[in-house]
A and B are shown apart, each in its own frame.
Chain A
Amino acid sequence: MFQQDRLNNELTFWQKIKELDYILLTSVFLLSILSLFVMYSTDGGEILFHTKSHFSKIIIFFPLMIFIAFFNIKWWHNLSYLFYLVVILLLIYVSFFGIKSSGSRRWMDLYLFNLQPSELMKIAIILCLAKYYHRIKIENVNSITSIMTVVTIILIPIIMVLSQPDLGTSILIAASGLIVLWLGGVKIKYFIYSFIVFLISLPFVISFLKPYQKLRILTFLDPDRDPLGAGYQIIQSKIAIGSGGLDGKGFLKGTQSYLDFLPEKHTDFIFTLFSEEFGFIGSVALLILYSIIIIRILRIGAISRSNFSRLFCFGFAFAIFIYIVVNLSMVLGLLPIVGSPLPILSYGGSSMLATMIGFGIVLSAKINHKQMIA
């Protein structure tokens, strides 16, 4: 009874500070600092637009993460559906009034940066489904209604993002959603069935792909078919990474990058630059840093009393893992090129905002790991 009382009481400010996960916090901080250096390198060793802009985003979003952490996890539990709905509304807004750039309508203009709601959806879908599986009885998980509900929850944003069009983000949203379904206890056979259905419908899906998307797949299968056109990105990316060698060419000395051979070096191909300058050792160190973050999040999920926290942490950890894997596989030539940023390291406000919100909720789960949610 006594214990129960104490748990129901709100923690004091200092207790919250004490309860923050400092390993996770330090890792995220290190990653942010590292991202600034990398951005400085993409600007050619000068503090130019990308460095300044990235810095200002870190200055805003890093405190935002801690701010979010100070709210009780119950709050986030309560707001989950609302958050999902707001993001859906933003997606609708964007599809009508969004900023059009290079053929797709993904952004809305906020004063500080252009917000890409589909990035926020990566977090919203995890929150929403975590809450759903937290609340549903385990016996009902595999009921038809339940399956239909979650499939709808996942499909709505995916279809909206696909129509922007943005294949990369919709794949990541789908992956994030599916992992929560898996964690929530949806039977393996459903996954197998849907995978078979997916395979069968694949030719049909491909016929719906935009020409540039088809080209990307063809290019992935054989980058040398058009080395100066479609295959250029992946060839140059591999050259940059490969030429980095064991210990890299040195900070600010990545010739592929500063001589502009690297495409989109600020965003999707940021790892290429990093790997060229810091080599295999640096790349592995970066992966270790990411692994620490993921393991820390998993640990927080594991010690959480509430299944909501647990589902969110596990889901979010997996999502981060997926982002990294998809991005790295892409730049290493293991997957076709789909737009997907590397968390924190890539330039881009929305992606960082989403990731920082995720970390904030994870930290909140840590502070309130003993909190039960009805």
Chain B
Amino acid sequence: MIKGNSGIRKTDVINRRMFIIGAAKIIIFTGIIARLFSLQVNENKKYLTLSDKNRIREWKLPPIRGDIVDYFGNIIAGNLKVYQLHIIPEQVENFNYLLTRLKTILKLSDKKIEKIVKLKNKLKPWESIVVSENLSWSDFLKINNYLYDLVGVKPVMTISRNYPFSEVYTHILGYVSQPNEEEILANETVKERFVPGMKIGKLGLEKTLENHLIGTNAIQRYEVNAYGKRINQLEHQKGEQGLRVRLTVDTEVQKACGKLLNDRAGSISVMDIYTGDIIAMYSSPSYDPNKFLFGISNDDWALIRNNPLKPLVNKTLSGLYSPGSTIKPIVALSALENKIVSPSFKVKCTGKMELYGQTFHCWKEKGHGFVSLKNAMKQSCDTYFYEVARLLGVDRLNVTAEKFGLGKKVLGDYFDFEKSGLFPNTKWKKNNLGKGWVLGETLITGIGQGYTQTTPLQLCLMTAQIANGGYSIKPRIIVDNNPMPLEETKRKLKEETLHTQEKKLFNDPRNIKIVQEAMFSSTNELYGTSYKSRIDDPKYQFAGKTGTAQVKRISMRERELDLKIEQIPYKDRDHALYIAYGPYINPRYALSIIIEHGGSGSRTAAPIAKELFKLIIDRNDLRNKQKNFEEIKI
């Protein structure tokens, strides 16, 4: 009975205590449910975002660069499909076997194999190794043939920059290539859009117009697992191709320039004298920019770098030359404008001129006899211009020269390597060389020697501004999509000069006319220095001025020897220059030609102009018809 009692009492204790913890259980369960509610219902959004952040990764793809086209819409810098070869390490069964197979199929070097192995150890197993960035079509076919044997290899098609005219536009366009870290950090847009494997402009317009051309990244979203491996693709956000840029250049003319220069060191520029459109701008020798796209080989690079003709230098914009006799139109104009000389003013040329015991030679030893301005220009008489320069003084000459664009960058915004050149005056010498101006220096400045340094494009602009009647134009290489009829352009030029004196480069229009006529006679009249290169058909007839720039002082001995050009060492030969504009009636285009160490301007440079003018003027109609720029789809 006691036992039974104890049992019952025990049962009571157990039951009582059970109720106490039963109550505790309910409270605790409620607490847990409350916690669940707060996480899953109240804070659901926060955790959903975190979960998406966990699982979704974005991959930026390289943007597609905008095309660059010539005036007629031909693509001169475009994009091309290229074939690449990738290895995905985690799919490879036997890495060494694969490498030996690839080595024999693609003839890879040991160095390349080493590089691949190094990359493999660095990358995650699902990140692809690029074995070849640009596979030739035959290699691509070979790989596809052997694909059954190459487990883990992926042939990939991608897009790469391409320059269809190879070396023709190198000095205008530059090229793209893989940027280094500094280059990425230097440009905000590049920094933002950079993805490995992307290429940026390294030189020329490709570099200057980077932000227009670059385009926006396409974005791929992938679901990834905790280790970062892509599981599946979620969505694709298309990128926009970079802007299409149209240049003023004409590929046919540009190509012709290249052909005419024929790998000689030199430059040709062609410009529309009213719009300032640069029709062609060729620096020779050039090189193939396509070689830089996937990293240039050491051999190719050495070939370009060690070429004594300096293909890497853009001679049109950063080559500095003495203008030689091509400066004479400006000297003549300056003298006329300053009323130093009249068209009838004559100087007697005896072949040399003495000044303070120094002898200044005319190119013609026997002398030209009495010469007027027109004849002096025509035959390029140095003595006449010594005398005129002496009377004019360098400072007044400098004012005219600078008005016409000498000593200033022509396209400064677009090419960071463009040089501004120099046209001296007394103040300049004092400030920079600390010495007083010497009269003798005025004389040689008058024939384009001495301190004067010009770029070929400056000479072209100078010629254009003489040709258009003395109006200041702004040269351009990019079409801004607002073509104006020629008449309107001319009217506008004249109208602008009424308001601003700056645009007007002359006081008396007759002076310009005199200079133009003198240039005409130089090309089209007997005894003119470029008479042999004339074209009689008025449609193509042009006016020009030759120039022969001395590279070194001619010694008395050399003068007596009167060596033929072939007998002089290349580096000592004179630069040959020629400036011209045409057609003479209703002119439209100006050009400047320079052949480094080409000998005399009349013999080497002027004949090129003859060839070019035919082409340029024949293409004028086509160019005028090319109006509707908006119709071209981007």
* Residues of A near any B CB (own CB < 8 A): 133, 137-139, 179, 182-185, 236, 238-246, 255-256, 259-261, 275, 279-280, 283-284, 287, 291, 294, 298, 301-302, 307, 310-311, 314, 318, 321, 325, 328-329, 332, 334
B: interface residue count bin? 35 or more
Contact pick for A332, options B11, B28, B32, CB 8 Å:
B32
Are B227 and A243 interface neighbours, CB within 8 A? no
Give the distance to chain B from A82, nearest Cβ to Cβ, in Å. Answer: 23
Whole-angstrom distance between the alpha carbons of A291 and B7 in the complex? 29
Are A255 and B41 interface neighbours, CB within 8 A? no
Are A243 and B50 interface neighbours, CB within 8 A? yes
Whole-angstrom distance between the alpha carbons of A285 and B9 in the complex? 38
Q: Which residues of A contact B15 (CB under 8 A)?
A: 302
Count chain A CB atoms within 10 A of each CB in B32, B33, B44, B51 and give the residue with the most. Answer: B51
Contact pick for B10, options A185, A261, A301, CB 8 Å:
A185
Whole-angstrom distance between the alpha carbons of A239 and B10 in the complex? 48
Q: Which residues of A contact B41 (CB under 8 A)?
A: 245-246, 280
Are B37 and A280 interface neighbours, CB within 8 A? yes
A242-B50, A283-B36 known; A183 vs B14 contact (CB < 8 Å): yes
Are B54 and A239 interface neighbours, CB within 8 A? yes
Chain B 46-66 interface residues, beta-carbon cutoff 8 Å to A: 46-48, 50-51, 54-55
Give the distance to chain B from A337, nearest Cβ to Cβ, in Å. Answer: 16
Is B123 part of the contact surface with A, judged by Cβ < 8 Å? no
Give the distance to chain A from B44, nearest Cβ to Cβ, in Å. Answer: 4
Sample of 5 more A-B contacts, CB < 8 Å, known A240-B47, A245-B48, A283-B40: A255-B55, A275-B36, A283-B36, A310-B11, A325-B29
Q: Which residues of A contact B50 (CB under 8 A)?
A: 239, 242-243
Are A260 and B225 interface neighbours, CB within 8 A? yes
Whole-angstrom distance between the alpha carbons of A271 and B381 in the complex? 102
A262: nearest residue on chain B (CB-CB)? B226
Are B40 and A260 interface neighbours, CB within 8 A? no
Contact pick for B25, options A241, A259, A321, CB 8 Å:
A321
A314: nearest residue on chain B (CB-CB)? B18
Are A242 and B40 interface neighbours, CB within 8 A? yes
Q: Which residues of B contact A255 (CB under 8 A)?
A: 51, 54-55, 223
Contact pick for A137, options B6, B17, B36, CB 8 Å:
B6
B46: nearest residue on chain A (CB-CB)? A242
Are A241 and B47 interface neighbours, CB within 8 A? yes
Are B55 and A261 interface neighbours, CB within 8 A? yes
Give the distance to chain A from B579, nearest Cβ to Cβ, in Å. Answer: 71
Are A241 and B36 interface neighbours, CB within 8 A? yes
Contact pick for B47, options A243, A287, A294, A307, CB 8 Å:
A243
B49: nearest residue on chain A (CB-CB)? A243
Contact pick for B226, options A182, A261, A321, CB 8 Å:
A261
Chain A proximity mask over B222-233: 1 for CB below 8 Å, otherwise 0? 011111000100
Give the distance to chain B from A335, nearest Cβ to Cβ, in Å. Answer: 11
Give the distance to chain B from A184, nearest Cβ to Cβ, in Å. Answer: 7
Give the distance to chain A from B9, nearest Cβ to Cβ, in Å. Answer: 5
Is B43 part of the contact surface with A, judged by Cβ < 8 Å? yes
Give the distance to chain B from A262, nearest Cβ to Cβ, in Å. Answer: 8
Q: Which residues of A contact B22 (CB under 8 A)?
A: 298
Q: Which residues of A contact B11 (CB under 8 A)?
A: 307, 310
Whole-angstrom distance between the alpha carbons of A239 and B50 in the complex? 6
Give the distance to chain A from B125, nearest Cβ to Cβ, in Å. Answer: 15
Whole-angstrom distance between the alpha carbons of A245 and B50 in the complex? 13
Whole-angstrom distance between the alpha carbons of A328 and B40 in the complex? 14
Give the distance to chain A from B217, nearest Cβ to Cβ, in Å. Answer: 25
Q: Which residues of A contact B223 (CB under 8 A)?
A: 255, 259
Contact pick for B32, options A256, A260, A287, CB 8 Å:
A287
A332: nearest residue on chain B (CB-CB)? B35
Whole-angstrom distance between the alpha carbons of A134 and B18 in the complex? 16
A261: nearest residue on chain B (CB-CB)? B226
Instruction: Offer 16 A-B interface pairs, CB within 8 angstroms, sorted by A.
Output: A182-B17, A185-B13, A185-B14, A239-B47, A239-B50, A242-B44, A245-B40, A245-B41, A246-B41, A261-B54, A261-B55, A280-B36, A307-B14, A318-B25, A332-B36, A332-B39
B56: nearest residue on chain A (CB-CB)? A255
Q: Which residues of B contact A239 (CB under 8 A)?
A: 47, 50-51, 54
Give the distance to chain B from A122, nearest Cβ to Cβ, in Å. Answer: 17
A139: nearest residue on chain B (CB-CB)? B6
Q: Which residues of B contact A279 (CB under 8 A)?
A: 40
**Top 7 A-B pairs, shortest CB-CB distance:** A242-B47, A243-B51, A260-B226, A259-B225, A280-B40, A243-B47, A185-B13
Contact pick for B21, options A179, A260, A283, CB 8 Å:
A179
Chain A proximity mask over B218-244: 1 for CB below 8 Å, otherwise 0? 000001111100010000000000000
B44: nearest residue on chain A (CB-CB)? A245
Whole-angstrom distance between the alpha carbons of A245 and B10 in the complex? 47
B17: nearest residue on chain A (CB-CB)? A183
Are B39 and A238 interface neighbours, CB within 8 A? yes
Give the distance to chain A from B366, nearest Cβ to Cβ, in Å. Answer: 92
A306: nearest residue on chain B (CB-CB)? B7
Are B36 and A246 interface neighbours, CB within 8 A? no
A182-B17, A239-B51, A259-B54 known; A307 vs B7 contact (CB < 8 Å): yes
A183-B17, A334-B35 known; A138 vs B9 contact (CB < 8 Å): yes
Whole-angstrom distance between the alpha carbons of A314 and B14 in the complex? 9
Are A242 and B55 interface neighbours, CB within 8 A? no
Whole-angstrom distance between the alpha carbons of A65 and B59 in the complex? 54
Contact pick for B43, options A182, A242, A301, CB 8 Å:
A242
Whole-angstrom distance between the alpha carbons of A261 and B56 in the complex? 12
Q: Which residues of B contact A314 (CB under 8 A)?
A: 14, 18
Whole-angstrom distance between the alpha carbons of A283 and B29 in the complex? 12
Are A287 and B14 interface neighbours, CB within 8 A? no
Q: Which residues of B contact A318 (CB under 8 A)?
A: 21, 25
Whole-angstrom distance between the alpha carbons of A174 and B495 in the complex? 103
Q: Which residues of B contact A301 (CB under 8 A)?
A: 18
